[in-house]
Amino acid sequence: MTNLFSSKKILALAACCMLSAGALWADINPKPFVVPELKTWSGAEGQTALSGRIVVKNAKLKAVAAALAADYKEMFGKELTIVNGATKGGDVVLSLKKDKALGDEGYTMNVGSAVEITAATERGAFWATRTLLQIAEQHKDGNLPKGKTTDVPEYKLRGFMIDCGRKFIPMSYLRDLAKIMAYYKMNTLQVHLNDNGFRQYFGGDWNKTQAAFRLECDTYPGLTAKDGSYSKQEFIDFQKLAEQNGVEVIPEIDAPAHSLAFTQYKNEIGSKEYGMDHLDLFNPETYKFMDGLWKEYIGGKNPVFIGKRVHIGTDEYSNAKKDVVEKFREFTDHYIKYVESFGKQAVVWGALTHANGDTKVKNKGVLMDIWYNGYADPVEMKKQGYKLVSIPDGLVYIVPAAGYYYDYLNCQYLYEHWTPAVIGNKTFEENDPMIEGGMFAVWNDHAGNGISTKDVHHRVYPALQTLAVKCWTGKETKLPYAEFDSKRAELSEAPGVNELGRLGKPGSVVLEKATVNAGETLNAEEIGYNYAVTFTIDGKQEANGTELFRSANAVVYLADPDQGKLGFERDGYRNLFNYRIPAGEKHTITIEGTNKMTRLLVDGAVKEELGPKTLYVMREQDRAHYQVKGTYTYEPVVYQPTDQIYYQRTLVFPLRKAGNFKSAITNLKVEAK
């Protein structure tokens, strides 16, 4: 009996060992790639196929469910039906549950027989759906790997600031930008609504220097920029769209510096001592003007600025004299309290170390963008009680094609070394309660340098994905940068958004047509960098202004409106090749484009390359005088220019609509390079 029992025992143990070994060798799903990286992941075996149903357990989540259904259909062409009641296998189940550990934006997502999403707030549940969509788009069948995540952001504020003052940014792009930010759980978009170019690039004349205020304005008719602006209603609609996507828009009206748009409109409020881009802080009319401007957008029952926060500027004013410093501090304090009187929280640029003085400036409840520690020492500002936003210029400032700061951010360095706890040369403890979060910025300093909105976006997108990780996941990223960079580039920008103009994979032909008929519509809007567009043209005499292709963003001319040359136009800039399509001749034309240049090839040979063009500023103080006075009767005027801008001649190639040309266009081939 003892031997028999022992044999059975051995068999049972062997079976257990075999089962254990099977479990050890089973495929446990690794952490899915998501931007930002998931904070936790507990993998399970297998995948879950979605049933096509979203079960809403709380009525507050109906809008989240509707957004998920719309985005899923946009991305995958499949319907998700919103239902109530019992859960079935493959359902997406949305629930709310009070849980302090999840905070305002965290969530859990458990992918088992169903996909169970739980959050403490609607925004947390919405972020979970962004994770679901990102995972689904990386699986051809749309299935989700089984496993569980609890995902909570490290920082409350995860944002981006865009300068619309020096370069008009179309509303269509701002709306897409809000969707892109939402897809990567970036929750704050600061819109810089007024600014001006640098006087030296405009003949040293303040009256000729580019300056713009981008909003429709009734209080001061004529203040609104002529080269691009937003109506009040479209700005309201934009803020609502962003809000529906979990993104807060913080509108910024910058004063008392960067204020040339206001002083060009009302000369008497400009500073005669410090320049017309400075408001005169000692003139009572300055305060009347700014009070009236702010009241138009934050006053009344239905204000234009609908969010809880507004940015009042307050940066880079002269500190040459003590009385000016005190007046600047008084101005800052006045407008903090002024916007608060309308129920708004004030956001300011950090400038109070630069403007150190005796006049008290309100700190409680005020959010400060710390951009340069010489202007505002973050340690001192924290002591004074300001909540801080980390936006250090030496790390996260993009100034396109300017030759200073960054043209493109050093994303690898930021990914490997930065979090919002690093503000310039000061490093705080992670999760310091006085640091709200981090942002990056695009400043379009060189007004008139040919940069397009597409060029701006090409710089913004990789930075946005990187900052999304560093503000949500923080220091504990597990993925090596090279792997992150490779995988993040494969993700969609957002459901239904393709600002980069990505078509197909690099190295592929993405569109071919034997014949392009005049006026026909093609099935692609545009192709972004890098590309080659080739076609054969049997040339006819074309009238000036004849288009080859047009999109919502650009036009390519067979004969430009002025000189009849091959060229293109976008963002109010027209660039021409020194080439006319010969009538009565047949040639093969190729136009290649990168983020640095646009190249023309004729019959396979390079005809011309339009790369960055250096434009010099000729100033009187740069005149060179080397000749001995009186030696010659004629002395030429010679300059040694020190200021220059780098004019950009790039093109995201339009494809949507063919022009009404007479020439025969055949053998169209569009390649992604």
CA atoms within 13 A on the CB side of 622: 13
Residue 457 banded pLDDT, cuts 50, 70, 90: very high
Which amino acid belongs to residue 445? D
Q: What is the mean pLDDT of residues 259-287?
A: 98
Residue 12 banded pLDDT, cuts 50, 70, 90: very low
- Check whether 593 has a pLDDT greater than 90: yes
Look up the pTM and report it: 0.94
Q: What is the mean pLDDT of residues 537-543?
A: 98
Phi, psi of 6 (to 5 degrees): -65, -40
Tokens representing residue 282 in the block: 């000692």
Q: What is the mean pLDDT of residues 643-658?
A: 97
Residue whose structure tokens are 């660039």: 575
- Check whether 21 has a pLDDT greater than 50: no
Tokens representing residue 314 in the block: 């307050």
Residue 381, SS3 per DSSP? helix
Q: What is the DSSP string of 192-225?
A: E-EEE--GGGGTT-TTTS-EEE-B--SSSTT-S-
For residue 451, CA distances in Å to 165, 195, 454, 566, 569 come to 14, 17, 8, 20, 12
What pLDDT was estimated at residue 631?
77
- Check whether 653 has a pLDDT greater than 70: yes
What pLDDT was estimated at residue 642?
86
d(CA 567, CA 654): 12
More confident residue, 24 or 399: 399
What pLDDT was estimated at residue 20?
43
Contact between 420 and 370 (Cβ < 8 Å): no
Contact between 438 and 389 (Cβ < 8 Å): yes
Give the residue among 121, 105, 117, 114 at the shortest CA–CA distance from 86.
Answer: 114
Residue 271, SS3 per DSSP? strand
Give the residue among 595, 641, 581 at the shortest CA–CA distance from 615.
Answer: 641
Q: What is the mean pLDDT of residues 245-273?
A: 98
What pLDDT was estimated at residue 2?
39
What pLDDT was estimated at residue 621?
86
Tokens representing residue 617 in the block: 């500023």
Cα 133 to the center of its chain, rounded Å: 20
Contact between 370 and 416 (Cβ < 8 Å): no
d(CA 378, CA 392): 11
Q: Which helix (H) or strand (E) holds 233?
A: helix 232-244
Residue 163 banded pLDDT, cuts 50, 70, 90: very high
Alpha helices in 445-570 (DSSP H): 453-472, 481-488
Residue 27 banded pLDDT, cuts 50, 70, 90: confident
Contact between 540 and 564 (Cβ < 8 Å): no
Contact between 590 and 611 (Cβ < 8 Å): no
Residue 190 banded pLDDT, cuts 50, 70, 90: very high
Q: What is the mean pLDDT of residues 58-80?
A: 97
Q: What is the mean pLDDT of residues 649-660?
A: 98
Tokens representing residue 615 in the block: 């434009």
What pLDDT was estimated at residue 623?
87
* Residues in contact with 257: Cβ distance below 8 Å, sequence separation at least 6, in sequence order: 277, 278, 279, 313, 315, 316, 317
- Check whether 5 has a pLDDT greater than 80: no
**For 618-625, which contacts have Cβ atoms below 8 Å and span 24 or more sequence positions?**
619/200, 619/204, 619/643
pLDDT (tens digit per residue) in 425-434: 999 999 999 9
- Mean pLDDT, all residues of the chain: 95
Q: What is the mean pLDDT of residues 460-484?
A: 97
Q: Which neighbouring-strand residues pair with 213? A: 194
Q: What percent of the chain has pLDDT over 70?
A: 96
Kindly provide the residue ranges of all beta strands, DSSP E only, lying in 224-291, ordered along the sequence: 248-255, 270-271, 275-279
Angle (deg, nearest 10), helices 122-137 and 171-183: 90
Tokens representing residue 651 in the block: 């093109």
- Check whether 666 has a pLDDT greater than 80: yes
Residue 18 banded pLDDT, cuts 50, 70, 90: very low
Give CA torsion, residues 75, 87, 48, 127, to 10 deg: 50
Residue 630 banded pLDDT, cuts 50, 70, 90: confident
Residue 508, SS3 per DSSP? strand
SS3 content of the chain, % helix, strand, coil (to 5): 25, 30, 45
Residue 635 banded pLDDT, cuts 50, 70, 90: confident
Burial of 652 (0-12, 13-18, 19+ CB in 10 A): buried
d(CA 271, CA 605): 56
Contact between 535 and 668 (Cβ < 8 Å): yes
* Residues in contact with 580: Cβ distance below 8 Å, sequence separation at least 6, in sequence order: 559, 564, 565, 566
- Check whether 404 has a pLDDT greater than 90: yes
Give the residue among 136, 135, 193 at the shortest CA–CA distance from 164.
Answer: 193
pLDDT (tens digit per residue) in 35-66: 999 999 999 999 999 999 999 999 999 999 99
d(CA 207, CA 127): 47
Q: What is the mean pLDDT of residues 366-380?
A: 98
Q: What is the DSSP string of 631-656?
A: SSS----EE---EEEEE----PEE-S
Q: What is the mean pLDDT of residues 494-520?
A: 97
What pLDDT was estimated at residue 641?
87
d(CA 375, CA 349): 9
What pLDDT was estimated at residue 388?
98
pLDDT (tens digit per residue) in 325-340: 999 999 999 999 999 9
Contact between 148 and 431 (Cβ < 8 Å): no
Tokens representing residue 402 in the block: 């300017």
Phi, psi of 76 (to 5 degrees): -120, -5
* β 387-390/435-442 pair status: parallel
